[in-house]
Structure 1
Amino acid sequence: MLVSGASLVAPLLVGRAIDTGIAPRRADVLVYAVAGLVAVALARGLFTFLQGYLAERASQGVAYDLRDALFGQMERLSFSYYDRVQTGQLVQRLTNDVEQIRSFAGSGVVQLANAVVMLVGSAALLFYLDWQLALVALAVVPLIALLLVRFVGLIRPLFGQVQQTLGRLNTVLQEDLSGVRVIRAFAREDYETARYKAVNDELLDKNLQTVRVFSNNFPFVFLLANVGTLAIVWFGGWQVINGGLSIGELVAFNTLLGFMLFPILTIGFLSASISRAGASATRVFEILDAPLEVTDKPDASPLPPVECRVKFDNVSFRYPGSEREVLDGVSFEIEPGSTVAILGTTGSGKSTLVNLLPRFYDVTGGAVRLDGNDVRDVTLSSLRSQIGMVLQEARLFSGSVRDNVAFGKPDATDEEVRAAAEAAQADGFIRGLSDGYDTVIGERGVGLSGGQRQRIAIARALLVDPRLLILDDSTSAVDAETEAAIQETLDGLMREKHRTVFVIAQRVSTVRDADLILVLDEGRIGAMGTHEELRRDSELYNEILGSQLVEEAVTTGSDG
């Protein structure tokens, strides 16, 4: 407001200097007018500095809040959301889209407010100086406004398409960086280069479309602005000649007309930023407004320490947007301290079944109960704090080995960390690393073998001392000897701690001694019992036993 006010005062001072100082040759009036102009310039400079600083500070605050809100939301979003959205799109929204909003929230908002104030203020002063001349000058404004409205209508959807295409480009880049070994192994470099180039070409085309929209509209805006100036010079010149207007007032009027047309052009240019920021804001709020499908009920209560009696009561489940039941009418009950092995054909729902226990997904029918408590009726934190998971893909984080083992219990002592590593048969190789437990490993555990990563993941799960332990084919990347040692330790820990364990495995040794084996077939329980019972009674179990499970005697893999 102050910057705009200082700018609007300047033309009036110039007009007064011409009419009362220069024309009558009065030096004293000219000195006062020049001193006034200097004071206005100094004030405008100070206000402009403060405006720029405060606007940038505010925009950085907006970006900070948005990044925090987005990341916090991403931490809470349900797994079903990530099943539908590409990771590259999420990264795009957290980086580029936030930056587009930040840019507009700082300089863009200030320029827009400044343009509106200048537009209203200069128009008021034009009518104050000469209302007839003001009407002539303002005749071009509606035409310019129509062009700008048309421009915004064309440019906004294009910016949304640009952001969408840029997200796809980031997705391709991320996939290729994470899968570079697979690409090289199958000699697919040329294919991936062509795939990236195709999306890049599409991005170039979208950007060129936005350039064409600019080129097809703004020359006409400038033309109309110049027509307004010509009208002022012509009509205003006649008024000066006829004595209806002074030269100083004409100069001030022409300057104020520029002050009025410049904000219109500024709003036109800003409309592109508004459209870009609007498209980015839409994408950002798609995440912020995304429903959390797995949340605590308003009346959810903490889950007390459990004995871990697990019951699946006629459980059905389908993924959001799918019509196929992944699990259909699954029912069984497990006593505390039992070891349950889960087998099944590909796509039979093994991983889905164990994912329902910690409520990574909610059932679409029936109920999952722990000690009689429906898992949907207790708080997520109290439920998951009593469950330990070792997934098939051992995901580690950049940092020290100790930090990765203590990920679920950051306040664990060194003795507790080492005890968990020993239980997972990991202590030996960890001590052999360059800095032992303080060795820094790369992103996703780069620098460690698959078996080493899995043993650290097992140690991480054991450290939290879970009442319910879920092992999703967690020994698939270790050799038979190491697996046997891990399994022996796990068996001891299961019996000693009276844990309930669910195991998804691909080896006979993992299931032979299980208290109960569940055989899944197309989302249903095809057979259930002990190893000996199923060998005797289940044809499906024997087929899986012969085709999928690996006997230790023929295992030749190495822990590497």
Structure 2
Amino acid sequence: MLREYLGPLRWQVMALAALLLTGTGLNLLLPQLLARFVDGVKLGAGADVGLLMRLAGAYIALGLGVQLLTAGATYLGAQVGWAATNRLRADLMRHMLSLDLREHQERTPGEMIERIDGDVTALSNFFSQFAVRVFGAALLLVGALVMFFLEDWRVGLGVSLFALVTLLALNRTRRAGIEPTRLERESSARLFGYVEERLAGLEDVRALGAGEHHLRGFLRVQREFFQRSIGSWLRRSIVWQISMALFAAGYVGVLGAAVGLYAAGAITLGTAFLFYQYMSMVEEPIDQLTQQLQDLQKAGASLVRVGELLKLRSALQGGPRDLPPGPLDLTFEDVTFSYVPEDPTVRPVLGGVSFHLPAGQTLGLLGRTGSGKTSLTRLVSRLFDPSEGHVRLGGLDTREVRLESLRTRVAVVTQDVQLFQASVRDNLSFFDPEVPDEQVEAALREVGLGSWLDRLSDGVRTPLPTGSLSAGQAQLLAFARVMLRNPAVIILDEPSSRLDPATETQLTRAMTRLLAGRTAIVIAHRLETVARADRILVLGEGRVLEDGPRADLARDPGSHYAGLLRVGLEGDGAEVVGEGVLA
């Protein structure tokens, strides 16, 4: 992980290492200056005032230098950390977008957000400072021990044994907090998921007066997160608690040795003070190692969760081929599909579906709710693969086609159009800066939104707050999105299901322009929506009840489509696809 994400930042990492190592070296010199100053002051009247002034000036200069180096290392470390973690966020986001819908249906968007942001944020210190600071702390520790040996080998040996025992004790406890921290991150993800779901359904929650119930649920999830946070903090704090207890004993030992040696005349007062200073330098890197170990525990838990996410693999792997140019024909060959193919007790959504749609024609897809219409179109856009059989576009099995080629040539317009809090052009181009404004304007005018565009203060650069458009305008914007992509195959999932007749007329005109020369599937509840379709396919309980040219089926009084037309005339244009005529 360090090699992959810090490798491109190696020069910044080397500069960070240089700052930390230089600061370490200066830190080792400061006690020497202080010891000489103390011994010089002890001489009293015979002290060399000029030397004392030089020592004081050198000490202040070196102290300032250490602080400046520390500040520079902190700034550069933050830059390295954010650059590395942002690259990891981008990789995680790219990986999540590549996963199939099965994986996304098992997790809430809030949980995914926590995985991408919360877990990665916990890794920021690991990326920015862990390796360099551990190396710098180890160097400072070794340097301080060497200075002890140079002053008095007996004290140096004792402090070295103490440091070894302390490091072994900390190493034994360093893993204690990883599992509790992982559970804390999981409860945090559940909390985010709970909040996201309730905010997404806020209108229903308010309309049904369920606010109090959901608040109690929030408090329950929040309580779990709080309890696990406290538990993981207590387990991680074992490291520094042990460190504090050991160093309390260590300071007593070093001060006792210094006092004894000074009383025996073996060392000077400055050297005794030097022992105390170097003991603090032994404590400082071990404290830093303690802090880094706690951060490593957090990073370890986050790395486990990030690793789990990166190990997920989409069942939809693209093939080596590209779809041929021009309009594409569509063929279903004995297709069976189930959302849980591993469970044979679950009835397939589609069973033995076969039909052929010639290139450039429009298929009107009809059927009762639950008949498998949307599932069929999901197979065309390859959000799922058939359990059995083949789906072919332009003569190629969709599993043989590169996913990028398929996504570029097949466009889907759903009932619920997703709009972003961004400009009109960003909503249409999906934030692609290379799409020119003129092309966006042309697409809007093509679908009949020219007069609406003319009223916008900044044209296509005007911000488009979510919820500011009617259902009809949102559908027309979705049509304009498809116009920009210029796909070969278009799928419209009940585009007029929520529109009034006047708006539906405008939408039908835009749809006629949109589908011209393209292969299309239109799912509809209103027969007017498929009145210009070339072919009609009627589904019932996952099977093809009827398939043929629309005009031929309309003339056949025994066809399901003719029956729907009769019901529609009797009901004065009501929605008739859900009626029992299809049973």
Shared fold, TM over 0.5: yes
In the other structure, the counterpart of 2:372 is 349
Which of residues 72, 81, 88 in structure 1 aligns to 2:110?
88
In the other structure, the counterpart of 1:553 is 573
Q: CA deviation at 1:225?
A: 0.7
State which drifts further: 429-438 or 462-471.
429-438
Amino acid at match of 1:337: G
The structure-2 alpha-carbon separation of the partners of 1:146 and 1:432, relative to structure 1 and needing over 3 Å to count, comes to: same
Is this contact kept in 1: 2:453–2:459, CA < 8 A? yes
Which of residues 159, 169, 190 in structure 2 aligns to 1:168?
190
Q: Secondary structure at the match of 1:304?
A: coil
Q: Does 1:180 align with 2:194?
A: no
Structure 1 unaligned blocks of 5 or more: none
State which drifts further: 135-144 or 453-462.
135-144
Cα deviation digits, residues 193-231 of structure 1 (max 9, x gap) = 111111111111112213433565544431221111112
Q: CA deviation at 1:35?
A: 4.2
Alpha-carbon distance in 1 for matches of 2:154, 2:564: 93
The structure-2 alpha-carbon separation of the partners of 1:387 and 1:131, relative to structure 1 and needing over 3 Å to count, comes to: same
The structure-2 alpha-carbon separation of the partners of 1:550 and 1:231, relative to structure 1 and needing over 3 Å to count, comes to: farther
Q: CA deviation at 1:259?
A: 1.1
Q: CA deviation at 1:236?
A: 3.7
In the other structure, the counterpart of 2:408 is 385
Alpha-carbon distance in 2 for matches of 1:247, 1:549: 109
In the other structure, the counterpart of 1:209 is 231
Is this contact kept in 2: 1:311–1:370, CA < 8 A? yes
In the other structure, the counterpart of 1:502 is 521
Q: Does 1:410 align with 2:435?
A: yes
Cα deviation digits, residues 97-138 of structure 1 (max 9, x gap) = 333222443355554333222222212222332232233334
Alpha-carbon distance in 2 for matches of 1:102, 1:477: 47
Q: Does 1:450 align with 2:457?
A: no
The structure-2 alpha-carbon separation of the partners of 1:231 and 1:435, relative to structure 1 and needing over 3 Å to count, comes to: closer
Size of the aligned set, in residue pairs, is: 546
Q: Secondary structure at the match of 1:187?
A: coil
Alpha-carbon distance in 2 for matches of 1:401, 1:40: 58
In the other structure, the counterpart of 2:12 is none
Which of residues 376, 400, 404 in structure 1 aligns to 2:399?
376
Alpha-carbon distance in 1 for matches of 2:544, 2:562: 15
Q: Does 1:12 align with 2:32?
A: yes
Alpha-carbon distance in 2 for matches of 1:295, 1:204: 41
Q: How does 1:21-420 map to 2 (within 5 A)?
A: 22-23=42-43, 25-27=46-48, 29-106=51-128, 110-213=132-235, 218-297=240-319, 300-319=320-339, 323=343, 324=346, 325-401=348-424, 404-405=427-428, 410-411=435-436, 412-413=438-439, 416-420=442-446
Alpha-carbon distance in 2 for matches of 1:219, 1:492: 73
Q: Secondary structure at the match of 2:313?
A: coil
Q: Secondary structure at the match of 2:122?
A: helix
State the identity %: 28
Structure 2 unaligned blocks of 5 or more: 1-20, 577-583
Amino acid at match of 1:410: V
Cα deviation digits, residues 172-191 of structure 1 (max 9, x gap) = 22222222111111111111
Q: Secondary structure at the match of 1:149?
A: helix
The structure-2 alpha-carbon separation of the partners of 1:551 and 1:166, relative to structure 1 and needing over 3 Å to count, comes to: farther
Alpha-carbon distance in 2 for matches of 1:547, 1:191: 44
The structure-2 alpha-carbon separation of the partners of 1:462 and 1:16, relative to structure 1 and needing over 3 Å to count, comes to: closer
Is this contact kept in 2: 1:137–1:229, CA < 8 A? no
Amino acid at match of 2:402: T
Cα deviation digits, residues 340-360 of structure 1 (max 9, x gap) = 233345444322221222323
Cα deviation digits, residues 295-337 of structure 1 (max 9, x gap) = 543xx24323233211122334444785354444432222223
Cα deviation digits, residues 503-558 of structure 1 (max 9, x gap) = 2222233456644443444544455446775986678x8999999999553469xx
Is this contact kept in 1: 2:439–2:484, CA < 8 A? no
TM-score by length of 2: 0.81
Is this contact kept in 2: 1:22–1:30, CA < 8 A? no
In the other structure, the counterpart of 1:421 is 447
Is this contact kept in 2: 1:480–1:552, CA < 8 A? no
Cα deviation digits, residues 467-510 of structure 1 (max 9, x gap) = 3221111111112343355336645764xx33322122222334
In the other structure, the counterpart of 2:494 is 473
Alpha-carbon distance in 2 for matches of 1:380, 1:127: 66
Q: CA deviation at 1:3?
A: 0.8
Is this contact kept in 2: 1:296–1:380, CA < 8 A? yes
Alpha-carbon distance in 2 for matches of 1:474, 1:415: 22
Is this contact kept in 2: 1:306–1:370, CA < 8 A? no
Amino acid at match of 1:508: L
Is this contact kept in 1: 2:557–2:563, CA < 8 A? no
Alpha-carbon distance in 2 for matches of 1:447, 1:134: 74
Alpha-carbon distance in 2 for matches of 1:17, 1:11: 10
Alpha-carbon distance in 2 for matches of 1:59, 1:215: 24
Amino acid at match of 1:123: L
Cα deviation digits, residues 394-434 of structure 1 (max 9, x gap) = 12223344554555993353663244222xxx556666777
Alpha-carbon distance in 1 for matches of 2:563, 2:58: 97
In the other structure, the counterpart of 1:459 is 480
Q: Secondary structure at the match of 1:153?
A: coil
